[in-house]
Structure formats: structure tokens, C-alpha cells
Amino acid sequence: MNTITGKHFKKLVLQASAAGVSFCVLDTLNSEIKQVSHIPFSKTVPLEDELWRTFVQYPELRLGFDEAIVLHDNAFNALVPTALFDENFAGSYLQYNTRVFEGDAYAWDNLASYDITNVYVPLMNINNYLVDRLGAFEYRNANSILVEKLLDASKNSFEKQVFVHIQPTHFEIVVSYGQKLLLFNSFEYASAEDFLYYLLFTIEQLELNPETIKVALLGNIDIESPLYTLAYTYMRNVALYDATALAAKWQTNQKDALTNFILLNA
């Protein structure tokens, strides 16, 4: 049990995928961000070697933390109404949108406020490596944080909204109506045109009007981005997500709050 004299007042949030790691060190006493780093991984180097290199190059990861949270950043997940979820058949919810194998481990996050269970495949080689480095930690799927916080933000809205969380090689779309989730999906993209195609296709499938639907962009995006420019050309109600409250909470700016939306909300 931590006593007040034994506390470090530091929290680590580490978001890990096969493509890289992002992490932030938070000062929980003063609500300050001490450090944020984004480290891409090589496709030709074993994942465990890349993790080892990261801990060597970033000694901040070897500091004492009162709390550590690991976020698995992958699209091997399915959002299920909690009333329909049975943990004995966790893999069956994933088989329609991702490949599952006999040896896969399954985990699930409960989004209690919305009666949603996010079933996913954690990358156990990441967990096994980090246990040796960090000791005990909590882990979740990164998309659980994203969906939960965007539904929270929809509390006082009574119209359909499209949220697009952009990362360097893929993006997530969350569509809400009030605080109800209408759609979640993830797409890989290699160009701005790919991004626009998947976004417009989703809007068309949901029978939304691209001239009027509100589209909020967050993540690795700014108004100078080709993705923003192209989206605004074909959809009139496009804007950056308002992350003012999140920025104020952690004493940072809007751009950093947008980029690190998942890390800072975990």
C-alpha cells in the first residue's frame, strides 16, 4: 500500500502497437504533462527488440510510477451491447471483422455508462515484455478510451455527429447521436484520397448529408494538413475537435491535446 511519503505522483500512459509506441508521463499532483514521446518501429525488427530499444533510449520509462496504464492500439476489436456479451464466447464477436486464431487471448473493456463491451485481442508479447519492465499495470484497448470520451462529449448534442481520429497510417470513425453510438470503424490509408474515400463512403452508408453533417477531426491533424483540406472541399461542416477542456486540464495547448487525445484521456 502506497503511503504519502512513498508516492511519486507520476502516472505513465503507454500506447503500444506493432507500428510503434507513444507514451506520456503525467505529474498527477500538479496536473502537468512531464513528457510526451512518439516512437515509430521498424517493420523488419522484432517487436521485443524495438521495445527493448525504447526503454534504453528513454530512461524516463524506468522511473517509479504510482500507476501505469498500457493501451493496446489495434483494430482487433468489436463493440458489443453488454446485454449480448458472453465472456465464454469472446472470440466469436471478433470473427466477422478480424482474423482470429485458436491461440489468441481475448480481453474486454466495459464501457459501463453506455452498456457497451469492447472485446479485443491484446498483443500478449507486448504485455509480457512490459510486465518485466513496469511490474503491475492496467491495460485496455485504445479504442475504448476514444469511444467512451467522444460519447461523453456528445452529452448535450441532439444531432448526429461524426468524429474522425487520425493517426499516421490509420484512422477511426465514431458516429454518435446524443450519447448513443451509431458506428465505430477503423480504416488504413496511404494517401489523403484514401482517407476521403473511406470517410465519404461511411457517410453515404449511414445516409448522412455531407453538406450538413458535423465532422470533427482530432488526432494527428491540423488545418494545414492535406487530409483537412480535402475533407473540407467535399464536406462543408468540417472542423477540428474542440479540445479546450482537455488542454486546460493538463495545462497544454489545443494542438497537443488533439494529437494526444487518447493518451491524455486514459
Q: In percent, how much of the chain has pLDDT > 70?
A: 98
pLDDT for 1: 47
Question: Is residue 238 one of the residues assigned to a domain?
Answer: yes
Sheet hosting strand 238-240, strand order edge to edge: 180-188, 170-177, 160-166, 214-219, 238-240
Q: Indicate if the pLDDT at residue 129 is higher than 50.
A: yes
Of 42, 72, 102, the last residue of a domain is 72
DSSP single-letter state for residue 217: E
Domain co-membership, 162 together with 259: yes
Domain co-membership, 247 together with 156: yes
Cell triple for residue 124? 500478449
Q: Indicate if the pLDDT at residue 116 is higher than 80.
A: yes
Q: For residue range 244-256, list pLDDT tens digits in order.
A: 999 999 999 999 9
DSSP 23-69: EEEEETTTTEEEEEEEEE--TTS-HHHHHHHHHHH-GGGGS--SEEE
Question: Is residue 20 one of the residues assigned to a domain?
Answer: yes
Of 55, 72, 89, the last residue of a domain is 72
Cell triple for residue 5? 511519503
Domain co-membership, 253 together with 155: yes
CATH number at 166 reads 3.30.420.260
Question: Is residue 68 one of the residues assigned to a domain?
Answer: yes
- Averaging pLDDT over each range in 3-17, 61-75, 252-266, which range is the top one? 252-266
CATH number at 53 reads 3.30.420.250
Q: For residue range 3-18, list pLDDT tens digits in order.
A: 555 678 899 999 999 8
Question: Is residue 143 one of the residues assigned to a domain?
Answer: no
Name the least confident of 93-107, 153-167, 179-193, 196-210: 93-107
Residue written as cell 510486465?
131
Q: For residue range 132-142, list pLDDT tens digits in order.
A: 999 999 999 99
Q: Indicate if the pLDDT at residue 2 is higher than 60.
A: no
Q: Indicate if the pLDDT at residue 103 is higher than 90.
A: no
Question: Is residue 141 one of the residues assigned to a domain?
Answer: no
Domain count across the chain: 2
Of 44, 72, 100, the last residue of a domain is 72
Domain that holds residue 17: 4-72
SS3 content of the chain, % helix, strand, coil (to 5): 35, 30, 35
Question: Is residue 105 one of the residues assigned to a domain?
Answer: no
How does residue 200 score in pLDDT terms, banded at 50, 70 and 90? very high
Question: Is residue 234 one of the residues assigned to a domain?
Answer: yes
Cell triple for residue 263? 493518451
Contact 235, 213 (CB under 8 A): yes
Q: Indicate if the pLDDT at residue 53 is higher than 50.
A: yes
Contact 141, 256 (CB under 8 A): no
Question: Is residue 47 one of the residues assigned to a domain?
Answer: yes
More confident residue, 100 or 38: 38
Q: What gap in Å lies between CA 229 and CA 223, rounded to an integer? A: 7
